[in-house]
Amino acid sequence: MKEDIKLLIQLQNKDIELDKLRYRAEAIPKEIEQSSTVLNQYKEEIESSRNELKKLQVSRKEKEVDLESKENDIKKHNLDLNSIKTNEAYKAKLNEIEGSKKQKQALEDEILVFMEQIEQKSLEVKQKEKEFKEQEAGVSGKINILKKELEQVNQKVSELEPARSEFVKKVPGKLFSHYEHIRSGRQGVAVVPIDGENCGGCNITLRPQIINDVYKAQDLVFCDSCSRILYKPSLLEEENKSDIPSEENKTDTKSEANEESVQSN
């Protein structure tokens, strides 16, 4: 039974590592998307500032056309003056010219205001473009790092998955389905050490009988509350010793298993 639980602990370590990697593999694309969203927001802001700038330029152009036509009016009125016969009509024409000159002045003032606004808006666009470039460099770097990480994570998963399947062959079938069933309902953790008098998974205080059974280690012992498989903490320590050089797990497990059977005899 000790050996069975050791197998399950080893399997669980592999599964926890795989779970972490898969979790990361799901999270990275979302992080990449978030980073792209930041850049897109910058792009949208720049686009809207550019549109405002264009509108201002169009308005200025319109005022300049108005100004030109007003100037032509004034010229025409001045020419008209020569052909006017009566004093009355002459005076009226002069008034008309005066009115046009005022309108011309007003247009020139408006054009000046537009020119100032255009200058400000151009600076704003340039500033935003500069900020975007600075952000873009940082964000692109970040996205590249995330993409590399995703590649590595996927690579690691594709290495660990077959290794896990291979390992599962060592685990007795019924034990494995037990393990899988508990794991699926308990956030991926099916085997836990007892912690003093408590379950190391759900922390409930265990009955003395259960604690005794765990130390005897003759049968699988389950927590009454969370149904996880319980083991004595010293088993984990033994497990950790054999688990440190994880690359050589296979040979280590064998020697560890042999030692264990020698010791228990």
Give the residues lining the site for Zn ion (CB under 5 A).
199, 201-202, 223, 225-226
Strand partners, 193: 231
Contact 260, 3 (CB under 8 A): yes
CB closer to Zn ion, 56 vs 191: 191
CB closer to Zn ion, 118 vs 202: 202
**What is the C-alpha separation between 50 and 169, in angstroms, rounded?**
64
CB closer to Zn ion, 225 vs 251: 225
The SS3 assignment for 224 reads coil
From residue 62, give the alpha-carbon distance in Å to each of 53, 69, 76, 102, 114. 14, 11, 21, 18, 11
Measured in degrees and rounded to the nearest 5, phi and psi for residue 230 equal: -100, 150
DSSP annotation of 248 reads: G
Neighbour tally for 181: CB within 10 Å: 12
User: Rounded to the nearest whole angstrom, what is the least distance from the CB of residue 207 to Zn ion in the complex?
Assistant: 12
By 3-state DSSP, what share of the chain in percent is helix, strand and coil, each rounded to 5? 80, 5, 15
CB closer to Zn ion, 135 vs 188: 188
User: Rounded to the nearest whole angstrom, what is the least distance from the CB of residue 235 to Zn ion in the complex?
Assistant: 17
What are the structure tokens assigned to 17, written together? 């590592």
CB closer to Zn ion, 80 vs 213: 213
User: Rounded to the nearest whole angstrom, what is the least distance from the CB of residue 211 to Zn ion in the complex?
Assistant: 13
User: Rounded to the nearest whole angstrom, what is the least distance from the CB of residue 236 to Zn ion in the complex?
Assistant: 16
Q: Cα–Cα–Cα angle for 65, 70, 74, nearest 5°?
A: 150
User: Rounded to the nearest whole angstrom, what is the least distance from the CB of residue 165 to Zn ion in the complex?
Assistant: 28
